[in-house]
């Protein structure tokens, strides 16, 4: 996903400073009768005003 500005959930200011990335496991449908897990590299932002760290909004998780 492209980097875009996100709004801080605490103070409401908009920013695009990336703090880090985390791996998130997402359970998916069975594939050939085997459980499937997707590994998503979740981007986390840091608010420059209040310092809160939060994950980006994504449409599929």
CB 21 within 8 A of CB 55: no
pLDDT tens per residue, range 14-30: 999 999 999 999 888 88
Higher pLDDT, 59 or 44: 44
**Parallel, antiparallel, or unpaired for β 6-7 and 18-31?**
unpaired
Residue ranges of the domains in the chain? Answer: 6-55
CA dist 18 and 23 (Å) reads 15
State the DSSP code for 59.
Answer: S
When the pLDDT of each residue in the chain is averaged and rounded to a whole number, the result is: 90
Tell me the whole-structure pTM to 2 decimals: 0.77
């Amino acid at each position: 996903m492209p980097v875009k500005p996100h709004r801080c959930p605490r103070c409401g200011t908009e920013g695009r400073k990336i703090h880090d990335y985390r791996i998130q496991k997402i359970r998916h449908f069975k594939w050939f009768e085997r459980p499937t897990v997707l590994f998503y590299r979740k981007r986390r932002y840091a608010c420059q005003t209040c310092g809160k760290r939060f994950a980006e909004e994504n449409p599929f998780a």
